């Protein structure tokens, strides 16, 4: 991949690395004993997880009456969290699949961790549809299996069932794609390890040797899986939006939902990637691989998708007014200035206004600003789903059934629990697996390493001859 790269491109690997240094740097976090910071983070995350499990068991034992759901608010924090988590997952697939198709080299620094994030986020998301049905012990009724009740089949015309297929397919494909990429890197860890560790990584590495034909197949399957995952990721949030858009609730029954949800999903997902990457690169000392250039690129996507989301919000408002349909108009007036006005304000300011500071290159490249902004966007996107769901449901057609929904401690606890699941999984992942794709970073070294590309490239003039020989280590 030493194709010509524009000299104005920033290098994506800094610190004058060679191949061996890359291996050493990226394998190091999983080879040393965990740091105190890791242990503390793990204990905190695991405690949240434990509390979440407690709240889930509480829900199952006493029923979903322990959530503050009632007529007319049938969906509260549960589906809000579901949509939020599934949206977060989307950035991982965007980075791993869509940016692969577009040949964006900066994806190599962040794709591994982003895909891991996708998988953990989908696990958190999938929890909510399962527990919100109330009787989780008959949740297998979701699946169209031959049964003794007729057989009575599920309703294949229902968006809720499409959602089941979309999310299970999405989870499976993401997992396979991620693992295919992990196999060569597990082999690297295997060949550096001894004893029990070697056995462990030998199992995980599936007997990878690095043969030329295997690499050829590896690239072939990566490309085709990327091609499959690209329409898949767009379909998943489209189908999630169908859960709302195909209903007849004013404020939900709109054709703008699919593109608006997809843009919002990528927006929130990139925010979560930034949250994780800023911490990961610092704690694991991977600043040379997840560079400011990577952060800058992701902030550009946050700015773009945040603005798309902003246009969608304004379009919704305009169309509600322009339709002349009073129920639609009321639904939106209620969002802006109804009892949940603070949620709408939070959504607008976090999602639409605050990302505008990323027009400034200086802000895009500031790690602290990026981190704070990523938290803002995560909060804003959570509010967006809250605005769409309980705000709308709390003001039904009959004013006599209007209500003000507040969650119970159980609902909040389950949400905290999913944060626990997410971070526990991520921390374990960061211990066991290389958080940066080793082989892929090596493959772009000759075109994007700082000794080959960018302002400080030493041998840019000799590059065409390709004769640079590495000194031995």
Partner 1 sequence: MSTDNKNILFGLYDDESILLQAVKEAKDQHLDIDNVFTPFPVHGLDPLLGLSESRLHQAGFVYGAIGALTAFLFMTWVFTRDWPIIFGGKPYWSVPAFIPITFELTVLFASIGMVVTYFAVNGQGPGVTNPVLDDRITDDKFCISFDVSGNEDQVEPLKSFLESSGASEIRIKEI
Binding to partner 1 (CB under 8 A): which residues in 223-282?
223-225, 228-229, 231-232, 235, 239, 242
Q: Is 19 in the site for partner 1 (CB under 8 A)?
A: yes
Residue 280 tokens, joined = 């990961």
Binding to partner 1 in span 38-67, by CB under 8 A: none
The smaller minimum CB distance to partner 1, of residues 64 and 436, is found at: 436
- Cα(66)–Cα(409) distance, integer angstroms: 9
219-to-180, 181, 233, 349 alpha-carbon distances in Å:
10, 10, 21, 42
The smaller minimum CB distance to partner 1, of residues 153 and 322, is found at: 153
* Among the residue ranges 16-24, 264-272, 297-305, 367-375, the one whose residues contact partner 1 (CB under 8 A): 16-24
- Cα(349)–Cα(343) distance, integer angstroms: 10
- Least distance (Å) from partner 1 to the CB of residue 399? 29
> Would the CA dihedral through 171, 173, 174, 176 be positive or negative?
positive
Residues 115, 93 contacting (CB under 8 angstroms): yes
The smaller minimum CB distance to partner 1, of residues 235 and 329, is found at: 235
Q: Is 467 in the site for partner 1 (CB under 8 A)?
A: yes
The smaller minimum CB distance to partner 1, of residues 368 and 466, is found at: 466
Q: Is 134 in the site for partner 1 (CB under 8 A)?
A: no
The smaller minimum CB distance to partner 1, of residues 257 and 332, is found at: 257
Q: Is 160 in the site for partner 1 (CB under 8 A)?
A: no
Binding to partner 1 in span 192-211, by CB under 8 A: 192, 202-203, 206-211
- Least distance (Å) from partner 1 to the CB of residue 418? 24
Q: Is 459 in the site for partner 1 (CB under 8 A)?
A: no
Q: Is 215 in the site for partner 1 (CB under 8 A)?
A: yes
Q: Is 220 in the site for partner 1 (CB under 8 A)?
A: yes
- Least distance (Å) from partner 1 to the CB of residue 153? 5
Count residues near partner 1 (CB under 8 A): 74
Q: Is 396 in the site for partner 1 (CB under 8 A)?
A: no
Residue 73, beta-bridge partner list:
70
- Least distance (Å) from partner 1 to the CB of residue 299? 28
Q: 275, 264, 272: which is closest to 369 by C-alpha?
A: 275
241-to-207, 244, 377 alpha-carbon distances in Å:
42, 5, 20
Q: 77, 82, 53: which is closest to 67 by C-alpha?
A: 77
* Among the residue ranges 110-118, 185-193, 257-265, 449-457, the one whose residues contact partner 1 (CB under 8 A): 185-193
- Cα(324)–Cα(217) distance, integer angstroms: 57
Residue 235, beta-bridge partner list:
none
The smaller minimum CB distance to partner 1, of residues 198 and 365, is found at: 198
Site string for partner 1, 408-447 (x = CB under 8 A): -------------------------------xx-xx--x-
> Binding residue for partner 1 (CB under 8 A) from 5, 11, 13, 23?
23
The reply to whether omega before 376 is within 30° of 0 (cis) is no
Helix, strand, or coil (residue 73): strand
- Least distance (Å) from partner 1 to the CB of residue 244? 15
- Cα(11)–Cα(133) distance, integer angstroms: 50
Q: Is 466 in the site for partner 1 (CB under 8 A)?
A: yes
Residues 6+ apart with CB under 8 A from 287: 14, 281
> Binding residue for partner 1 (CB under 8 A) from 35, 104, 216, 401?
216
Residues 174, 89 contacting (CB under 8 angstroms): yes
- Cα(259)–Cα(239) distance, integer angstroms: 11
Q: Is 166 in the site for partner 1 (CB under 8 A)?
A: yes
DSSP state of 458: S
* Among the residue ranges 56-64, 74-82, 163-171, 416-424, the one whose residues contact partner 1 (CB under 8 A): 163-171
Helix, strand, or coil (residue 60): helix
- Least distance (Å) from partner 1 to the CB of residue 446? 8
> Binding residue for partner 1 (CB under 8 A) from 18, 51, 72, 300?
18
> Binding residue for partner 1 (CB under 8 A) from 42, 142, 218, 341?
218
- Cα(261)–Cα(350) distance, integer angstroms: 16
- Least distance (Å) from partner 1 to the CB of residue 453? 17
Cβ burial of 169 (10 Å; 0-12, 13-18, 19+) is middle
Residues 6+ apart with CB under 8 A from 183: 204, 205, 206, 208
Helix, strand, or coil (residue 232): helix
- Least distance (Å) from partner 1 to the CB of residue 25? 12
């Amino acid at each position: 991949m030493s194709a010509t790269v524009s000299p104005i491109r920033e290098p994506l690997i800094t610190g004058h690395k060679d191949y061996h240094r890359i291996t050493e740097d990226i394998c190091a976090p999983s080879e040393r004993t965990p740091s105190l910071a890791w242990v503390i983070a793990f204990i905190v995350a695991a405690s949240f997880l434990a509390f979440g499990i407690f709240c889930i068991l509480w829900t199952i034992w006493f029923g979903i009456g322990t959530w503050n759901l009632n007529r007319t608010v049938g969906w509260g924090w549960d589906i809000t969290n579901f949509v939020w988590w599934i949206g977060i997952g989307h950035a991982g697939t965007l980075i791993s699949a869509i940016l692969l198709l577009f040949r964006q080299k900066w994806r190599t620094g962040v794709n591994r961790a982003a895909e891991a994030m996708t998988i953990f986020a989908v696990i958190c998301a999938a929890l909510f549809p399962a527990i919100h049905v109330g009787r989780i012990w008959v949740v297998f009724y979701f699946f169209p299996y031959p049964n003794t009740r007729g057989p009575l089949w599920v309703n294949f015309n229902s968006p809720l069932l499409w959602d089941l297929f979309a999310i299970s397919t999405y989870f499976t494909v993401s997992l396979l794609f991620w693992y295919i990429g992990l196999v060569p890197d597990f082999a690297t860890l295997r060949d550096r390890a001894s004893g029990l560790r070697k056995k462990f990584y030998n199992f995980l590495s599936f007997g990878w040797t690095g043969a030329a034909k295997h690499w050829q197949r590896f690239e072939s399957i990566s490309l085709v899986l990327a091609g499959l995952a690209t329409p898949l990721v767009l379909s998943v949030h489209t189908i999630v939006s169908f859960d709302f858009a195909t209903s007849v609730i004013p404020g939900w029954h709109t054709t703008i939902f699919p593109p608006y949800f997809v843009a919002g999903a990528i927006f929130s997902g990139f925010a979560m990637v930034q949250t994780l990457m800023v911490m990961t690169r610092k704690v694991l000392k991977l600043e040379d691989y997840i560079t400011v250039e990577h952060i800058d690129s992701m902030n550009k996507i946050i700015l773009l998708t945040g603005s798309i989301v902003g246009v969608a919000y304004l379009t919704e408002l305009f169309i509600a007014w322009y339709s002349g349909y009073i129920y639609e108009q009321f639904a939106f007036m209620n969002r802006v200035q109804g009892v949940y006005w603070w949620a709408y304000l939070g959504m607008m300011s976090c999602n639409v206004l605050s990302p505008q500071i990323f027009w400034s290159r200086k802000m895009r490249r500031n790690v602290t600003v990026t981190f704070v902004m990523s938290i803002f966007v995560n909060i804003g996107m959570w509010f967006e789903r809250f605005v769409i769901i309980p705000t709308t449901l709390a003001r039904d057609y009959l004013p006599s059934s209007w209500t003000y929904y507040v969650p119970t401690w159980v609902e909040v606890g389950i949400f905290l629990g999913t944060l626990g699941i997410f971070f526990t999984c991520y921390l374990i992942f960061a211990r066991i697996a290389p958080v940066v794709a080793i082989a892929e970073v090596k493959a772009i070294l000759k075109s994007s390493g700082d000794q080959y590309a960018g302002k400080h490239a030493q041998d840019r003039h000799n590059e065409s001859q390709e004769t640079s020989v590495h000194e031995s280590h």
